[in-house]
Structure 1
Amino acid sequence: MSTSSSTFTDSRPNSFLPDITDDFQLEPLFPPTCSPGADDVAANDCDPNAVLTTKDLLVEESPSIGSKLPDLPPAATDEVVLTRETASLHDLPPNAAPDGGLSAILVVVASFLTNFCILGIQYSFGIYQKYLPNAEFKGRATAAEVSLVGSVSFGVMNLLGVYSGRLADVYGYRLMVFVGTLIMVFGLALSAFSTELWHLMVTQGLLVGIGCSVAYFPGVAVNAQWWDRYRSLATGIAVAGAGVGGLAFANGSEVLLDTVGLKWTLLITALATLVLQLVAVALLKTRFPTRSRPLREALSNAIDWQLFKTRAFPPLIIGVFLNPFGYLIAYYFIPSYCQAQGLADTSGAMLLTVINITSVVGRIAVGFLADRWGNVNCYFASTMFAAISCLGIWLWTAAIPGLVVFAAVFGFCCGGLASLMPSVTAQLFGTKGLATSIGLIYSAEAVGHLAGPPLAALLIRDDSPLPSRGYAGLIAYAGVFSLAAGVCLAYVRYVVLDRTVWKKL
């Protein structure tokens, strides 16, 4: 691939401490659109001079994406010279991320709140998984049938990601987060009046899943516009909201279900979500202007097919496809597993608490390490250790001490998985149109979210010679799928990018 002869100088501060003296102005809910330009200018990139696309990473033009990842100068260097060769890692000026400032910090807060509400609700469904078959739907629904509610919600959220990400790039991030919030809250409120399981499928499953999808992907992608050198750490702090939210919603839901019942638990959850999400909408701000297009045109171009022509994307998306078949199982079945083992009634919620707490630590810690050791390296390691925790710990223990160790290791690794996917995507495929790229990647998880837990529930047996008893097949299922995802990521790291045993990538 030819390299432009011109270079650009990006002056960066030597300190991570942000300059909070910049003027912060809230972005209008309905952002201004760009003036009409040439038809070949991408809808998510209004700068006609910005010519970098995923075509720059095509196999035909570059035999190895690894060559696109040169070592950058030390952080203490005052100037970083950027060319087209480093553009997949860093936006060319004048669009270089500020890496600090009040606006960037408030965007992280907004993203934290979005993760807190959306993934907090999704990750705490295990409490409903334990409650519903023994309360409102006792004798009317099996564990596998109840798990479909959570699976539909999480699956639809990811399945529609390819479209919600595209709509955010075209119509504006704040608008999509606002619209998604309204849909999500409406679904939660309606679910409170459900009398049949299929009512919950439509409301808590389908409607909440649609709302989560519309709001989540712009909420998590926006950080990459504001952070470069500390992108993984900033994203890790933002997505730590999912762990904190899972902790809050899991414990809060369990207490509320036992005291006020299903109806008021869902109504209180809806109200809390509305308040927090409106704060997130108010704080969220983007750096790149949008260029509105007709809805049909925007949706017809939702999939960037050029990504599939890169060497890294196919194995990456296969790994992403396999991952949810594995890592969702603990979130959904730890409470019922504890119940089947005859442990205390509070054991399931306690272990979910451990998973969510260590997930918060993992999201921040792994994000911090990824800025030093490489996003792809840490993402691969997180996947492999999640598999090892299932096959090496959970499968062989039924006592609380061993389960706490499993929950801690598993939660830490899942935190790393959640925090690094946006950074890995931005590193390999650029930050322009990032919501579209992330939405496409997360859409690959949809099948696992829809089918993973129900298929795993079918593997529950009456007994087994292993300490995990009737759940041995379910646990092995989770571990094997996580291991298979790790193999795909190993291919990206050691075949596509670089065969060196250790290199920051």
Structure 2
Amino acid sequence: MQDHYERINFRHIPNAQLQLSFTGTVMEVMTHLLGPLAQIISSRYGVKVVLIVGTILTSLGLELAAFSTEIWHLYLTQGAIFGAGASLLFTTALSAPPQWFNRRRGLSLGLVSSGTGVGGLVLPFVMTGLNNALGATWTYRIWGLICFGANIISCFLIKEKNQRWSSSNKRLSEVFDLSVIRDMNFIVWLVGSVIAYSGFLVPYFFLPSYVTHLGMSSTDASVFMAALSVSNIIGRISVGFIGDRIGRLNAHLIFTMASGLSSLLIWTFAYSYISIMSFALIFGFFCSSYIALLSPITVAILGMRKFPTGLSVLLLANVVSVFGPSLASGLESVFQSAEPYMVYKMFTGATYLTGALFLLALKIKIAGGLMTKI
């Protein structure tokens, strides 16, 4: 949508790229901000209520976005309303599987989180075709209906294993165990995750614009995003499978380092169709290990009793991370004399590798060495 708006609807607005990217930032902030609210509602009324409210908000946000005539309209609709609904759905989807799995917890979360990759595979082609044929207004309307249909299915399928998590008699102090913020292992995990995740969204936000900047078509951009999503699906399932065997933190560390190196060593020099496709496939495979292993690693550090609070705190902290694309855009505008999009490439690589250093420190702190399975 950003690429379409830059080229069509808001092409005459100065700094449109930076302003439009803030829509995604608002959306991601809301997606992570309401984790505690989802935890409170689900603890008192059950996950079904959370899922239903989330489904209504996501669909409503997209349908209202269809009426947007100014960029700030997108902040309120796709950003705030859709993001709030996505937060309720996302938090619930991440918190349910650990209740049902232990030995294959990594693989189960990898399979669950791979669903976003499926959406990323399908939607670029659907939305590009709709944008070109019908315009942004009808694209949002149809997209809202697709979200409604998909999430209604989730309302029926996602459920809790242990109903005591849904007791309406719980006090707030029982729902949130704030002792997690005194756990140094959890703090190191949190800081490293925030830093690495800051680079995750940058290629998703700006790779389509980068492709059209090089003179390729919007269809080519959709192909690259689809390739990124296909490899992302495979990567999320793979890191879960590998993590169950060599240790989930070990697998996450390897994948995080590979993500940073792919940006610095491949995207930096990617100017042709083949080189950009190589980056999309490699980065897509490695980049989402945090989302796939977020819950299993948090459970391993805190235990199941403190896990819901730990998950909420992590999602809140990730609000900082979602400003990564906006920060990268700001740096790009400062260094205008440099090669276009180079800041995005460096920013992605640097954040992932810095986050990997914190993960390495966490591994050594917990296990006392490099070869231990954890």
Which moved further from structure 2: 414-423 or 252-261?
Answer: 414-423
Which moved further from structure 2: 428-437 or 320-329?
Answer: 428-437
Choose from 497, 500, 504 the match for 2:366.
497
Choose from 216, 230, 237 the match for 1:357.
230
Aligned to 1:90: none
| Structure number, greater radius of gyration | 1
Choose from 183, 186, 210 the match for 2:60.
186
> Structure 1: how far apart are the matches of 2:241 and 2:199?
25
1:137 match: secondary structure: coil
Aligned to 2:345: 475
Whether contact under 8 Å (2:128, 2:218) holds in the other structure is no
Distance verdict in 2 for CA 1:165–1:384, change over 3 Å: farther
Aligned to 1:155: 29
> Structure 2: how far apart are the matches of 1:293 and 1:265?
44
2:198 match: secondary structure: helix
Deviation string 1:200-240 (CA, Å, 9 cap, x unpaired) is: 11001011111111121111210111111111111111111
Alpha-carbon RMSD: 1.7
Aligned to 1:457: 329
> Structure 2: how far apart are the matches of 1:167 and 1:434?
16
> Structure 2: how far apart are the matches of 1:391 and 1:168?
42
> Structure 2: how far apart are the matches of 1:217 and 1:319?
20
> Structure 2: how far apart are the matches of 1:165 and 1:413?
29
> Structure 2: how far apart are the matches of 1:280 and 1:292?
23
1:321 aligned onto 2:190: no
1:376 aligned onto 2:249: yes
> Structure 1: how far apart are the matches of 2:45 and 2:71?
36
> Structure 2: how far apart are the matches of 1:345 and 1:282?
37
Q: How do residues 22-61 of structure 1 correspond to structure 2 at under 5 angstroms?
A: none
Distance verdict in 2 for CA 1:130–1:332, change over 3 Å: same
1:470 match: secondary structure: coil
Whether contact under 8 Å (2:267, 2:276) holds in the other structure is yes
Aligned to 2:167: 291
> Structure 1: how far apart are the matches of 2:308 and 2:27?
20
Choose from 133, 150, 161 the match for 1:259.
133
Larger helix share, 1 or 2 = 2
1:193 match: secondary structure: coil
> Structure 2: how far apart are the matches of 1:201 and 1:382?
33
2:331 match: secondary structure: coil
- 2:191 partner letter: I
- 1:194 partner letter: S
1:474 Cα deviation from its structure 2 partner:
1.9
Choose from 336, 340, 345 the match for 2:218.
345
1:332 aligned onto 2:205: yes
1:264 Cα deviation from its structure 2 partner:
0.9
Aligned to 1:227: 101
Whether contact under 8 Å (1:166, 1:439) holds in the other structure is no
Deviation string 1:117-136 (CA, Å, 9 cap, x unpaired) is: xxxxxxxxxxx111112212
Deviation string 1:339-393 (CA, Å, 9 cap, x unpaired) is: 1122233222111111100000011111111110111111111111111111111
Structure 2, unaligned runs of 5 or more: none
1:168 Cα deviation from its structure 2 partner:
2.3
Distance verdict in 2 for CA 1:190–1:317, change over 3 Å: same
TM-score of the pair, normalised by structure 2? 0.94
1:433 Cα deviation from its structure 2 partner:
5.5
Taking only the aligned residue pairs, the percentage that are identical comes to 28
TM-score of the pair, normalised by structure 1? 0.70
1:303 Cα deviation from its structure 2 partner:
4.8
> Structure 2: how far apart are the matches of 1:164 and 1:316?
22
Q: How do residues 426-437 of structure 1 correspond to structure 2 at under 5 angstroms?
A: 426-432=299-305, 434-437=307-310
1:184 Cα deviation from its structure 2 partner:
1.2
Aligned to 1:140: 13
1:444 match: secondary structure: helix
- 2:344 partner letter: L
Aligned to 2:263: 390
1:301 Cα deviation from its structure 2 partner:
6.6
- 1:197 partner letter: I
- 2:80 partner letter: L
Whether contact under 8 Å (2:180, 2:306) holds in the other structure is no
Choose from 424, 435, 447 the match for 2:320.
447
1:503 match: secondary structure: coil
Aligned to 1:273: 147
- 1:212 partner letter: A
Q: How many equivalent pairs are there?
A: 369
Whether contact under 8 Å (2:97, 2:108) holds in the other structure is yes
Structure 1, unaligned runs of 5 or more: 1-127
Whether contact under 8 Å (1:323, 1:481) holds in the other structure is yes
Aligned to 1:85: none
> Structure 2: how far apart are the matches of 1:406 and 1:272?
29
> Structure 2: how far apart are the matches of 1:212 and 1:440?
17
Whether contact under 8 Å (2:363, 2:370) holds in the other structure is no
- 1:428 partner letter: I
- 1:272 partner letter: I
- 2:252 partner letter: Y
Whether contact under 8 Å (1:323, 1:445) holds in the other structure is no
Whether contact under 8 Å (2:54, 2:87) holds in the other structure is yes
Whether contact under 8 Å (1:325, 1:452) holds in the other structure is yes
1:435 Cα deviation from its structure 2 partner:
3.6
- 1:480 partner letter: A
